[in-house]
Structure 1
Amino acid sequence: MALDEVFARIPEGWFEMGSDEGPAEERPVHRVWVEAFDFAVYPVTCVAYALFLRASGHAPPRDWTLLSTIPDRPVVGVSWFDCQAYCRWRASEGSPVRLPSEAEWERAARGGIDGQMYPWGNAIPAWIPEGGRGPLEAPWPVTLGEPNPFGLFGIAANVHEWCADWYASDYYRVSASDQPAGPEDGVRRASRGGSWRHAVTMSRCAARSRLDPSYRYTDYGFRVARQR
């Protein structure tokens, strides 16, 4: 089975979202319910994205000539709009997928364990390159390392992963407790997780980031979700 066709089941449940130890945008910690969903075990790879490009004629991502030579790496240099186009293409091929919400992403990253700092516990694991940077100064193979308790590889460490939500720094103060989907509008889209550029500084489960949805950065990729 191709890497991009492997999903893990994230069970429904309550979890404690946010952190009282981090910046104000991560507060307050609040209890959130997330319905069960499937989440890709790996971020979208260059192999899968190449199929999309060939089939759709969509504009290639930033630095694609280099990226396409390392197929076991996650695709990067994609905007939020590019991710949405990829999801629409997958749906047209009979495999509907979507970007996760921030709440779904954090629920999945925590692996069902409230209070831990990282997806792997409270310490940076030995398999993350020293300083967070890989030897090639590029994304790592998507299979590098050990999975979190839900079986997800590389979450919070390899690439920043786009989320579906608009971003608001004060959203947690007014967030719904049942399946929150982010603000109704905004300027930037939310993203989660660390990247090969700074895996350690942004790898906390609760860490939030945001970006103009049209930007294409070489440490930004995405992971897809689906409902059964």
Structure 2
Amino acid sequence: MKLTPTRARSFDIKDSIKNCCFGSIVLLFRACLFFPLIWGGSSSTLLLAQEMVSVPSGAFLMGDSSGLSDERPAHFVPIDSFFMDKYELSIELWDIVATWAELNGYDFSEKTRKPLRGASWSNDPSLHPMNMVTWFDAVKWCNARSEMEGRTPVYYLDEAKTTVYRSGEANLNNNMVRWTSSGYRLPTEAEWEKAARGSHIGKDYPWGNTALNGALGNYRLSGDPFDNGTSPIGYFNGEQLISTETHSYGGEVIKPLDMANDFGLYDMFGNVFEWCWDWYDPTWYGYGSVVNPAAVKANSRGPEEPYTDLRIGRTRVLRGGDYDHLNSTSSGRLLRIAFRHQRTPDSALRTYGLRSVRGHFVDPLWEMAQTDGNFSKWKKLQWLGHYYKSDFVWVFHETLGWVYPTGEGSYSNWMFHPKLGWLWTSRLVYPFLYSYSGNRWLWYAKDYREHGWFYDYKLLEWFRLTESTP
């Protein structure tokens, strides 16, 4: 259906732009173009510049019966399916979310402002993995990413889950986590190891047990161009360059391969350690060959109470190795999948980063809606405004009129408009709407005194929908 725009007087448009802070919204729109549009079945969502992959459900063999004492005994753990970031969290994505978060009640430690950004000659230092992140900051950032997209946050300051964790340093427990939320969180230690192993049962590395070389991942003196520093996220994709320096431990005669593991995940080996949810306990797996029954429960979330290390105190788990470990008999063991690193949750080093996960859960469409006054059928979504919920699926929006909504929570909303067809929007992008039938982005001037004005970014012109518009 072709829309015939109703033209306004020039000063009306200028007033609209001025009153709605259009310049700022254009900047937001340009930022949104940075986010790829991911289509999936009957719904879509704007994911923040970082793809996620699905890790299937099923039991896997965790630990290493011939490894270090805290890796023994190996034991099977059933895990439900979940999504995991394809790459380690980039500095760029951290900055986008953190900027929004600090304008919306979040705080982060000063340490996060000084990450190692990779070599000065790197094409884009901001695409190196985020580092200098404490466990506390990692958890708060996951909550901020959730709220920014309109998802239900995961972490709370109370077991009733009424106060979202946004500020300070709080040692949360398992009962302060909304595990069935659609929001982002840190992986449990079991989830991380299952994701890293792929189909390789009992192997040392994501690709098996073959010897290490610089074409496989980033570790100290590995031969990649980023020795003694981080490599960009997804760098080992089959096009990685390997140095022929004589001090390299290998790689110069190896044909580079795409090092995504069986699930499509990159850098589950080396580069930076990744924070996990769990408290660290060296006896959590069991003693000798005797397995701890709690460790083999489905979806194990680690110890309920922290183990106190007399040297450094209560610690959280990190996994995956980093760029600063050599491929040698001693420190090379730290690069294995089964290796369990630990640090206090306020620790921040240039070798500590994260990647987030989320469960296969969907928020109800109007999850965040509140009843408007004494009228039970009038609702309000903070980002979308007021609407009347009829006894049928159709709702009457205060400015858009009658629409037929469907979708998932505030982060992925499809709605059918009688004159515009199917539109997609979310809390993250509204009042921008994507028109499926027109394959175009629209900006709705929702605060303009005359309802119905849209700007078409494909035709680069304004139009107004009225009752007489066909």
Question: Normalising by the residue count of structure 2, what TM-score does the alignment of the two structures yield?
Answer: 0.46
Paired position in structure 1 for 2:90: 45
Alignment of 1:1-228 (within 5 A): 1=36, 4-57=49-102, 58-59=107-108, 60-62=110-112, 64=114, 67=117, 70-93=125-148, 94-95=150-151, 96-123=183-210, 124-127=212-215, 128=217, 131-132=221-222, 135=226, 137-145=228-236, 146-173=259-286, 174=292, 175-186=295-306, 187-198=314-325, 200=327, 201=332, 202-228=334-360
8 Å contact kept, 1:159–1:193 = yes
Point out where structure 1 has 5 or more consecutive residues left out of the alignment: none
8 Å contact kept, 2:52–2:84 = yes
Cα deviation code 1:83-117 (max 9, x no counterpart): 01101101111252100001000000001221211
8 Å contact kept, 1:156–1:199 = no
Q: 1 or 2, which has the higher strand percentage?
A: 2
Cα deviation code 1:3-51 (max 9, x no counterpart): 7430111000111110012111000011110110011110110001111
Return the alpha-carbon distance in structure 2 between the equivalents of residues 48 and 194 of structure 1: 22
Count of matched residue pairs: 228
Return the alpha-carbon distance in structure 1 between the equivalents of residues 275 and 191 of structure 2: 12
Cα deviation code 1:143-178 (max 9, x no counterpart): 111201111001121110000000000000121331
Larger radius of gyration: 2
Return the alpha-carbon distance in structure 2 between the equivalents of residues 102 and 83 of structure 1: 15
| Residue 209 to residue 49, structure 1, CA distance change in 2 (3 Å) | same
- Alpha-carbon shift at residue 136 of structure 1 (Å): 5.1
Q: 1 or 2, which has the higher helix percentage?
A: 1
- Report the RMSD for the aligned CA atoms in angstroms: 2.1
| Residue 8 to residue 125, structure 1, CA distance change in 2 (3 Å) | farther
| Structure 2 SS opposite 1:85 | helix
| Structure 1 SS opposite 2:98 | helix
Bigger RCO (CA 8 Å, 6+ sep): 1
| Residue 199 to residue 178, structure 1, CA distance change in 2 (3 Å) | farther
8 Å contact kept, 2:221–2:228 = no
Moved more, 95-104 or 161-170: 95-104
| Structure 1 SS opposite 2:127 | coil
8 Å contact kept, 2:98–2:144 = no
8 Å contact kept, 1:99–1:163 = yes
| Structure 2 SS opposite 1:67 | coil
Moved more, 47-56 or 37-46: 47-56
Point out where structure 2 has 5 or more consecutive residues left out of the alignment: 1-35, 37-46, 119-123, 152-182, 237-258, 287-291, 307-313, 361-470
Return the alpha-carbon distance in structure 1 between the equivalents of residues 282 and 116 of structure 2: 35
8 Å contact kept, 2:213–2:222 = no
Residue identity matched to 1:223: R
Return the alpha-carbon distance in structure 2 between the equivalents of residues 160 and 206 of structure 1: 13
Question: Normalising by the residue count of structure 1, what TM-score does the alignment of the two structures yield?
Answer: 0.92
Residue identity matched to 1:28: P
